[in-house]
Every structure is written in C-alpha cells, then in structure tokens.
Amino acid sequence: MLEFKFDTQLLIEGTGLDEDAINEYIIAHFEGDSLLVVGDDELIKIHFHTNRPWEVLEYCASLGEIYDVVVENMERQANGLKG
C-alpha cells in the first residue's frame, strides 16, 4: 500500500507567481511527497503525491488559473487498474 495515493499534477497561470514560496507553502501545509514546483512568475507546474489532492487544487486555484489538472490513483495503477 502506498503512503500517498494520488499523483496530482497541474499548471497555474497568473502574475507574480513565486515557485519558491509555493513550494514552501505546500511543504508546510500539505502531507505528501515527490513535490516538484517549476516555472516562472507567470506559469508554474506542480507535481505532488498526496492523499488529499482537492486541498492542493484549492490552494493553487487561489494563486491563479489552474488547468491541465491530472489526478491519478497510483494505488489502482499498482494493482493493474486504470488510475
């Protein structure tokens, strides 16, 4: 069984985005692992494994427009099912 079930990926588009601040906020406020926050002040890509992806999505939506959202159930994938 995986500790963190959902692979959560998305893009945030906005102005004045700060990848370091976003990275620090996610680490401080959400349980998970495999965090990747990359981009510039107008576009950020997030990759994060968590059990509560809706919380991460809500936070990211507060920063700008989110799109290309993918949430996959890695536990199902590990069992040979669609994620």
CA distances from 15 to 10, 40, 56, 63, 80 (A): 16, 9, 19, 9, 40
| Average pLDDT over every residue of 42-47 | 98
Identify the pLDDT of residue 1.
77
CATH code: domain of residue 55: 3.30.70
pLDDT digits (tens, 9 = 90+) for 45-81: 999 999 999 999 999 999 999 999 999 999 988 788 8
* Structure tokens belonging to residue 18: 């700060």
Please indicate, yes or no, if residue 32 is contained in any of the structural domains.
Answer: yes
81 lies in some domain: no
Q: Which domain holds residue 28?
A: 6-76
The number of distinct structural domains making up the chain is: 1
In a domain, 83, yes or no: no
Query: pTM of this prediction?
Result: 0.92
| DSSP secondary structure letters along 2-40 | -SS-EEEEEEEE-SS--HHHHHHHHHHH---EEEEEEE-
